Structure 1
């Protein structure tokens, strides 16, 4: 294996090794809160769904590509490719769909003093499950092309109208289908990017106005409200999602227009498509005090149990 393949394997394995346990840790922390009887708000529900979809994305996109890089993904057959590529595309779509929902809801929270926005926020809170389900439905159809045209990447020489994923390929029957599918994905992603950019900009403006009011009131010892902290976290998540999604789609447009695709472009696109799934839990673990406290307590319990078991074994 040459130096580039070794470097690529190290990068993608690092994303999988960091992202998978970090997202699972968030699920465990939020799950323990739910079991203890804490009532989840919309933000916690969306964050739980995001952590789950990110875990699935890494397991179906980042990990298979890592195995392919080191030559260990030869066991994929046509059926396995169809299933893995379909779940991978669906989880990727749900990741930025949920990020859009998170930013939109946080905008409503920041605008909630107004009666109209308060009514909208309450409706979104009550219909959150239905909204998530509605987001999944159209993507089930868009991503179904992956089931129809995915197959094992045994020999890709001379194949046109093909997305080469390394471990699998998505081979379209003609140029019209190939371009139509690609353009539909780009347009869909662009709609979400514009929505996230708009809501995050609006949130930043609201935060700026809020800080100006606080300074004008000359309040000493002012502590940032819970909503303000949550808004800053949401903006950080959304901005990172916009960045990674924007770069990925730019490369995807380049791939669509090329007859011979540069393999480096495919590698960079895969890197950015899995980056958010790894960055998301890092931001949450760094900024969410409740989750940090729960995980710290769990870690202390594990250390105590391990130390006790070591002492018992020494006595024996």
Structure 2
């Protein structure tokens, strides 16, 4: 009879394997297109960065979580736990930051010429690389506390206080300083989520107004769904909805784990939810983004000609 841990391990293995494969395919596609194919759109740089950090999120969480569900709980020491949790936290925050930049970039691109945002349309592509670099620097510096509090699994040494993450644990002392630090570190995440919700609402309003204008001018015979800008916006809106949904559920469970001694299944569910967006976002791009499909066709034609 298959145990519950075996089933969980297979779920994590499937999620990590399929998600990493999808993100790696898109990363290779964007890289190949950049050097040999048609000119990439400015937004493709953000999409390339998104699939890259999502790959890192899946690998940093999926591999140790899969190993722990299969019964391996002492495969990391203190240094390994510090590195794995620090790297996962940084890359997960980068995924949030990049999705926020995507939503903001597309909202600016859709804005009418008469709006204030229209002034940024020509200049925003120049800011993409510096903004990505700023996100990396900020999150690498602000998550240093993880390096101080993460330890090896509880079974490997005596820990009287802290959170048990099955294959690692965390020790902390509740104080006003820690509370203020958590509040300050969480503030950028809250702002990013609020920005995504605001820009998503703005894009939805623009699409609805455009739809109404097209119906008024052409009647029901012509729909704006075939427009490339519309398809790209719908893709980003779907990415935002997926991220906010999974992020909110995972954040609730993470708070519960932080303040309560949680059973292992709660930790596993939290880890699974944290990896859902990185695992499925690449397939949303493959199916929804027409440019990705064109890049894939161009790559296939080049490979067919060469071989």
Contact 1:186 1:249 in 2 (8 A): no
Q: Does 1:268 align with 2:307?
A: no
CA distance in 1 between counterparts of 2:69 and 2:177 reads 29
> Which residue is 1:238 aligned to?
240
Who is 1:44 aligned against?
A: 44
- Following superposition, the deviation at residue 112 of structure 1 comes to 4.4
Give the Cα separation in 1 of the matches to 2:277 and 2:69. 20
Deviation at 1:270, TM superposition (A): 0.9
2:293 corresponds to: 292
Is residue 85 of structure 1 aligned with residue 81 of structure 2? no
Structure 1 pair 70–185 and aligned structure 2 pair: CA distance change class (3 A): farther
Shift of 1:293: 4.9
SS of the residue 1:122 aligns to = coil
1:167 equivalent to 2:174? Answer no
For 1:83 and 1:242, how far apart are their aligned partners in 2? 26
Deviations 1:66-104 (A, max 9, x none): 111112353312222211111111000000100000000
Q: Which runs of no fewer than 5 residues in structure 1 stay unpaired? A: 309-316
- Distance in structure 2 (CA, Å) of the matches to 1:184 and 1:196: 19
Q: Deviations over 1:245-276 (max 9, x none)?
A: 11111222223342x22333222211111110
**Residues 203 and 231 of structure 1 are in contact (CA less than 8 Å); yes or no, is this contact kept in structure 2?**
yes
Query: Which residue of the other structure, out of 242, 250, 253, is the alignment partner of 1:251?
Result: 253
1:227 is matched with 229
Secondary structure at the residue paired with 2:121?
helix
Using the alignment, how far apart are the partners of 1:16 and 1:283 within structure 2? 16
Equivalent positions of 1:205-224 (< 5 A) are: 205-218=205-218, 220-221=221-222, 224=226
Instruction: Kindly state the Cα deviation for residue 4 of structure 1 after the two structures are TM-superposed.
Output: 2.2
List gaps (5 residues or longer) in structure 2: none
Match of 1:312 in 2: none
Q: Distance in 2 between matches of 1:286 and 1:101?
A: 21
1:277 corresponds in structure 2 to: 278
Q: Shift in Å at residue 37 of structure 1?
A: 4.6
Relative distance call for 1:213 and 1:244 in structure 2 (3 A) is same
Whole-angstrom CA distance in 2 between matches of 1:290 and 1:63? 31
What SS does structure 2 have at the residue aligned with 1:72? coil
Larger displacement relative to structure 2 (272-281 or 282-291): 282-291
In the TM superposition, residue 111 of structure 1 has moved relative to its aligned partner by 0.1
- With over 3 angstroms needed to count, the CA separation of the structure-2 counterparts of 1:38 and 1:300, relative to structure 1, is closer
Question: Which stretch has the larger CA shift, 85-94 or 63-72?
Answer: 63-72
Provide the aligned C-alpha RMSD in A: 2.7
Moved more, 112-121 or 265-274: 112-121
- The residue correspondences of 1:38-77 to structure 2 (distance < 5 A) are 38-72=38-72, 74-77=74-77
- Secondary structure of the residue aligned to 1:39 is coil
1:295 to partner: Cα distance: 4.2
How many matched pairs? 304
- CA offset at residue 61 of structure 1? 0.8
- Residue 104 of structure 2 corresponds to which residue in structure 1? 104
Give the whole-Å Cα distance in 2 for the aligned partners of 1:69 and 1:299.
39
Compared CA separation, residues 166 and 119, structure 1 to 2 (3 A)? same
Give the distance between the partners of 1:83 and 1:164, measured in 2 at CA. Answer: 17
The offset of 1:158, in angstroms, is 5.8
- CA 1:296 to 1:187, structure 2 compared with 1: closer, same or farther past 3 Å? same
